[in-house]
């Protein structure tokens, strides 16, 4: 390609875009989990679609497993334009001043994935992305991981069993409050440091969906896992706004299609990935897996319910009410399905 054409590409990219010698626009997509997780696989699917639909005018470079940046650093790198795309978990937006994202960390607020999708894909999701816009970030999609399970080196059935444990959490005030309500001492730590911290006993336990737990080999260093499904972990796929808006319109449109398709793919595989990871954890026989009884789960739920009131002023009463209204709507729909039909 002629030098002038390359130069045009570079200039059209604004301050944060990078074109290589072949004139391809580079998207560096950094993330912190393993390639064989729901997020890792969907990033790969996005790369394939983005390159195909733009006829290779876009090249997506994926950097998994915190290869480039850890949790907090990757958000700073996106804002400065050192990388163009990320998919941080919703628990990691608080430190940049977008605490509303912590609605997704609220324990027992979402009864199932359907409720989560209705919240993300509705007004709440729109409000969250509008908030990011003021921070030089454009939100493209919400991706799932799944419901979190609690792990440690001791069995955890009743709330009292958790008392005094030290647990790693993501950088979310809701998660910190959740752990404190359970009598746990929370320690914020980057994802890439969790395995070693568990191995060395810096922390006793952690919470994550099973796909993250298994792909980081945490089962090697955690004797017990409780299927508590107490909270959710999902992602916001984000791009640097200057980069995004500086893209030629036809490329942006192709990338939007690629994102839509990879989002459908991601949401489709997430639950199965977690189910497969659970089967692998059980087969490895290093971790005893326990499922809370309904009575135990009700006790955890009762202990954590007051967090909704406590965080209304931070997250927004309207957002929490919308999520609760959607949850109520879903349980009405479920009840209607199970009711015998009137003749
Ligand atoms: C964690 O830090 O536990 C997760 O957010 C990692 C991830 O991105 O799934």
Q: Rounded distance, CA 297 to CA 294, Å?
A: 5
Residue 97 lies in a domain: yes
Nearest atom (ligand 1) to Cα of 206: 3
Q: Is residue 228 lining ligand 1, measured as CB closer than 6 Å?
A: no
The residue ranking higher by pLDDT, 84 or 335, is: 84
Size of the chain in residues: 343
The token pair that represents 173 in the structure block: 């005030």
**Domain presence at residue 61:** yes
Q: What are phi and psi of 91, to 5 degrees?
A: -75, -5
What's the CA-to-centroid distance between 33 and ligand 1, angstroms?
A: 7
Q: So what's the pLDDT on residue 19?
A: 72
CA dist., res. 28 & res. 41, Å (int): 16
What residues make up the domain containing 184? 2-338
pLDDT band at 1 (very low <50, low <70, confident <90, very high): very low
CB 151 less than 6 A from any atom of ligand 1: no
Domain count, the chain: 1
For 300, the 3-state DSSP assignment is helix
Which CATH number goes with the domain that contains 183? 3.40.190.170
pLDDT > 50? residue 3: no
Q: Is any atom of ligand 1 closer than 6 Å to the C-beta of 171?
A: no
Segment 272-287 mean pLDDT: 98
What Å distances lie between residue 29 and 62, 186, 319, 336, CA to CA? Answer: 5, 30, 30, 44
- Separation of 134 CA from ligand 1 center, angstroms? 24
Classify residue 343: in a domain, yes or no.
no
191 in contact with ligand 1, CB cutoff 6 A: yes
Residues 89 and 233 sit within 8 Å (Cβ to Cβ): yes
Q: State the DSSP string of 126-153.
A: HHHHHHHHTTTEEEEEEEEEEE-EEEES
Task: Note the pTM of the prediction, 2 decimals.
Answer: 0.92
Q: What does the pLDDT look like over 139-170, one tens digit per residue?
A: 999 999 999 999 999 999 999 999 999 999 99
């Amino acid at each position: 390609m002629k030098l002038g054409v390359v130069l045009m590409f570079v200039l059209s990219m604004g301050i944060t875009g990078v074109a290589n010698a072949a004139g391809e626009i580079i998207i560096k997509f950094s993330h912190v989990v393993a390639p064989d997780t729901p997020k890792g696989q969907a990033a790969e699917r996005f790369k394939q679609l983005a390159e195909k639909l733009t006829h290779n005018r876009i090249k997506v470079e994926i950097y998994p497993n915190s290869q480039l940046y850890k949790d907090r650093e990757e958000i700073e790198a996106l804002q400065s334009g050192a990388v163009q795309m990320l998919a941080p978990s919703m628990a990691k937006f608080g430190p940049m001043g977008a605490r509303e994202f912590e609605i997704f960390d609220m324990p027992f607020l979402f009864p199932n994935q359907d409720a989560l999708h209705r919240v993300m894909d509705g007004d709440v999701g729109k409000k969250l992305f509008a908030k990011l816009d003021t921070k030089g970030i454009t939100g493209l999609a919400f991706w799932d991981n799944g419901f979190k399970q609690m792990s440690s080196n001791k069995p955890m059935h009743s709330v009292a069993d958790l008392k005094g444990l030290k647990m790693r959490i993501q950088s979310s005030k809701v998660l910190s409050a959740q752990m404190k309500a359970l009598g746990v001492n929370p320690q914020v730590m980057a994802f890439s440091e969790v395995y070693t911290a568990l191995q060395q006993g810096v922390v006793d336990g952690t919470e994550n969906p099973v796909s993250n737990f298994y792909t980081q080999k945490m089962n090697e260093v955690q004797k017990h896992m409780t299927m508590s499904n107490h909270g959710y972990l999902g992602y916001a796929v984000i791009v640097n706004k200057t980069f995004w808006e500086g893209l030629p319109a036809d490329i942006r449109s192709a990338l939007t299609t690629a994102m839509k398709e990879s989002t459908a793919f991601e949401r489709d595989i997430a639950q199965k990935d977690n189910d497969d990871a659970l089967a692998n954890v059980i087969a490895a026989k290093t971790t005893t897996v326990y499922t809370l009884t309904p009575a135990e789960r009700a006790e955890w739920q009762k202990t954590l319910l007051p967090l909704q009131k406590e965080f209304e002023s931070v997250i927004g009463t309207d957002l929490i009410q919308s999520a609760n209204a959607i949850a109520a709507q879903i349980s009405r729909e479920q009840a209607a399905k199970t009711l015998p039909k009137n003749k």
